[in-house]
Amino acid sequence: MSIFSRTRDIIAANVIDLVERSDDPAKTIRVVILEMEETLVEVRATAARYIADSKEKRRQLARLAELQDSWTERAELALSRGREDLARAALMEKEKLIDLAEEIEAEVADIEAALRASEADIAKLQAKLREARVRQNAVFTRIESAQNRVRMREAYAGSKAEQAFSNFALLEREADYAEGQAEALALAAPKSLEEEIAELKVADRVEAELAAMKARKEAA
């Protein structure tokens, strides 16, 4: 499934409207983001080629400038030796290099203009991609919220919930019966020696702490 044809379509697209008009927003937003990411990779690769081409052309211009200087020196040397014909020929070679340099400079200007356009496209694509990812988060949040609401309704209003509460009532009845038996046995059974001694120890600790609190209060 393809939504966009190229970079310009993505830049001009209204991502929110595109997703909201879709029958399957989650799938649509995934496709949108995938195409944006692929296009961004392509545009960046093109920009990298433009940068490489520009650097290569500038190296050529630097080399041509050196050659022009060389032909100028040769023309001056020939003229100093009375060879005006050689000086003229050397300057002709220099002019050819100047014409070539001008052509390359025009190419560099075109490359750099294309590079600037690519950089602008990259910035716009990144902005669109951020917009799509924000929209994706919103769509997924809505889907997750709806799914949670369905689970909650099933939890408190479904047949499983009714069965669970019925089982809880039975368990509570069994727990009440077990606790009643334990309490009845506790009432009938006398305290053991260990239990009485333990109670005395607890009482001693309580009295000691109470006395300490009174002492602190009086000291204050």
Each residue's pLDDT expressed in tens, for the chain with a length of 220 residues: 455 666 777 776 666 666 667 677 777 778 888 888 888 898 999 999 999 999 999 999 999 999 999 999 999 999 999 999 999 999 999 999 999 999 999 999 999 999 999 999 899 888 888 888 887 777 667 666 656 666 666 655 555 656 666 666 666 777 776 766 666 655 555 667 787 787 888 788 888 888 888 888 788 6
Closest CA to 25 of 125, 135, 127, 134: 135
10 Å Cβ neighbour count for 23?
Answer: 6
Contact indicator for 69, 38 with CB cutoff of 8 Å: no
Q: Quick one: pLDDT at residue 39?
A: 86
- Contacts of residue 93, Cβ cutoff 8 Å, sequence gap at least 6: 71
Contact indicator for 3, 35 with CB cutoff of 8 Å: yes
Domain boundary assignment for the chain: 7-157, 158-189, 191-220
Q: Quick one: pLDDT at residue 1?
A: 46
Separation of alpha carbons 125 and 202, rounded Å = 75
Q: Quick one: pLDDT at residue 58?
A: 95
Separation of alpha carbons 206 and 214, rounded Å = 12
Distance of CA 5 to the CA centre of its chain: 25
10 Å Cβ neighbour count for 125?
Answer: 20
> Residue 5 corresponds to which tokens in the numbers above?
């044809």
Q: Quick one: pLDDT at residue 84?
A: 92
Separation of alpha carbons 87 and 73, rounded Å = 9
> Residue 73 corresponds to which tokens in the numbers above?
């020196």
Long-range contacts of 149-155 (CB under 8 A, 24+ apart): none
